[in-house]
Copies of this chain bind each other. A is one copy, B any other.
């Protein structure tokens, strides 16, 4: 399924140099995310600091390396899968629960339910201008027996060791992502720790630390696009979003067998590398641990959590999200600006 690419798991910067040369450039600068063998002590240092790192040779999802389109078609089961479709290659996430408050919101992405077979047919027969499809299905008890057996053989001992070492909370879900090449999940942050395990194909990550919140202008918390940047990376509105010019980040390519540690509250745009085939990935999402004691100054992630709480509190107290912008502007403009 994926084009073969020369890999050098131990040599950091030089891995995937072919792919790297093909990628679209954006207006901001990036540094490479360190790429390290799972036994390298720098992995622990980075993870303790909640900084991203591509970890090699974990064997976390080795038992799923044969999860290509044909195998999944035959073995994932007959249940309908969660698939998003769009005429554009950007799949901006939206929160279904927040949609009823926004009846006029235009969504470029539609949610469709279909079997995995139907999904792969659409992927195989795709022609330029056709709809693009992106499967995002939680690995749950609807999957077939042989997939369950593969799932059980994930390297849970390694995963659980990390979970304990970094005092994370419970594993909340594993999301299977199967994307046509070229699909993009635009910049957003998640509220959980994540091991992003690549199985097939190549994904490019653009990563921005939590302090970049001020450069990325997420939608209001009550909005269906909560946690997603409002900035169009391909055509940024510098007047509305002046700090976008100050954005800089990190960049990683992950291929089969790689595990990206994606720290909680870190921003990420994820792109299935064009012209290298379908991508298959599995997310391991963990709840954050509980802070032992508060240390000042607060970390950027703690400030993001605080802003989220304020926005939720105001929206709930005012009981009408349409009144929230006016209240927040009244509180801040000319008083704190």
Contact = CB atoms under 8 A, between A and B. Distances in A.
Interface of A: 213-214, 217-220, 230, 240-243, 296-298, 303, 306-307, 310-311, 313-314, 317-320, 323-325, 327-337
A207 to B, nearest CB: 19
A243 B334 contact: yes
From A217, A306, A327, A329, residue with most partner B Cβ within 10 Å: A327
Given A310-B314, A330-B213, A323 B297 contact: yes
Given A220-B335, A296-B319, A297-B320, A214 B303 contact: no
Given A298-B318, A314-B310, A323-B297, A335 B217 contact: yes
29 contacts: A213-B330, A217-B335, A218-B335, A219-B335, A230-B335, A242-B334, A296-B320, A297-B318, A297-B320, A297-B323, A298-B318, A303-B330, A306-B314, A306-B317, A306-B327, A307-B327, A307-B331, A310-B314, A310-B331, A311-B331, A325-B336, A325-B337, A328-B331, A328-B332, A328-B336, A329-B332, A331-B332, A332-B333, A333-B337
Contacts of A213: 330
A243 B307 CA distance: 26
A29 to B, nearest CB: 21
Contact of A336 (B241, B298, B303, B324): B324
A337 B328 CA distance: 9
A334 B303 contact: no
A325 B218 CA distance: 18
B332 A217 contact: no
Contact of A334 (B241, B297, B320): B241
A310 B308 CA distance: 12
Nearest to A237: B334
A210 to B, nearest CB: 11
A311 B331 CA distance: 9
B317 A298 contact: yes
A215 B154 CA distance: 61
A128 B318 CA distance: 51
A325 B242 CA distance: 17
